[in-house]
């Protein structure tokens, strides 16, 4: 019995180390993939004009890296390229642009971008949730609730919209007749 306990501890330690190793290697490969995409897109877009998708991808990478000014510039280039290409699904570009402005606490501009995204894709739940969040940050509770309710109409099981709408309903004062 005394010989089994150290073996059990050793197996548990080995399992924990293996799990940690897997997580670390996955993170390394993910980071490497992102850095390769960043390098490839930067090289290409400095030499030639890119597509809306390429500008969007690079802008998204800059968003992840919290380099918002460059992300905004790239999303604006993506919008221009999308117009030239006749791209119809530009809601995600406007949403990315809105997120970059939101991250810089420029909520009014972010709201405009989210609304533009929704104008192009009325059931774009991510943009609706983001719009609701921007309204919340501006303390516009009724508008935030309306955005979350629109998100729930488009996707009834949206957990973010459900949670936020429920919280906001408690705060909205219903005028008495």
- Of 7 and 34, more confident: 7
Instruction: Note the pTM of the prediction, 2 decimals.
Output: 0.78
Q: Which alpha helices (DSSP H) does 48-158 contain, by range?
A: 52-64, 68-85, 91-103, 107-120, 125-137, 141-154
Q: Mean pLDDT across the stretch 67-87? A: 93
What is the architecture of the domain spanning 107-177? Alpha Horseshoe (1.25)
Q: With bands split at pLDDT 50, 70 and 90, how would you rate the model's confidence at 58?
A: very high
CA 81/CA 75 separation, integer angstroms: 10
Residue 173 has pLDDT above 70, yes or no: no
| Ramachandran category for residue 138: left, alpha or beta (phi over 0 → left; psi -120 to 50 → alpha) | alpha
Residue 69 has pLDDT above 70, yes or no: yes
Whether residue 37 contacts residue 61, with contact meaning beta carbons closer than 8 Å, is answered with yes
> What pLDDT does 35 receive?
82
Residue 177 has pLDDT above 60, yes or no: no
């Amino acid at each position: 019995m005394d010989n089994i306990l150290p073996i059990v501890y050793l197996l548990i330690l080995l399992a924990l180390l293996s799990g940690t190793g897997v997580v670390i290697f996955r993170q390394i490969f993910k980071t490497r993939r992102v850095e390769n995409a960043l390098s490839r897109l930067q090289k290409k877009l400095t030499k030639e004009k890119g597509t809306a998708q390429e500008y969007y991808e690079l802008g998204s990478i800059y968003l992840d890296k919290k380099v918002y000014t460059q992300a905004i510039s790239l999303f604006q280039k993506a919008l221009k390229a999308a117009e030239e290409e006749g791209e119809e699904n530009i809601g995600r570009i406007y949403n990315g642009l809105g997120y970059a402005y939101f991250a810089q606490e420029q909520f009014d501009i972010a709201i405009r971008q989210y609304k533009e995204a929704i104008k192009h894709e009325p059931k774009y739940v991510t943009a609706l949730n983001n719009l609701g969040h921007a309204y919340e940050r501006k303390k516009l509770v009724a508008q935030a609730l309306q955005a979350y309710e629109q998100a729930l109409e488009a996707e009834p099981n949206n957990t973010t919209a459900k949670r936020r709408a429920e919280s906001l309903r408690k705060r909205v004062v219903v005028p008495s007749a």
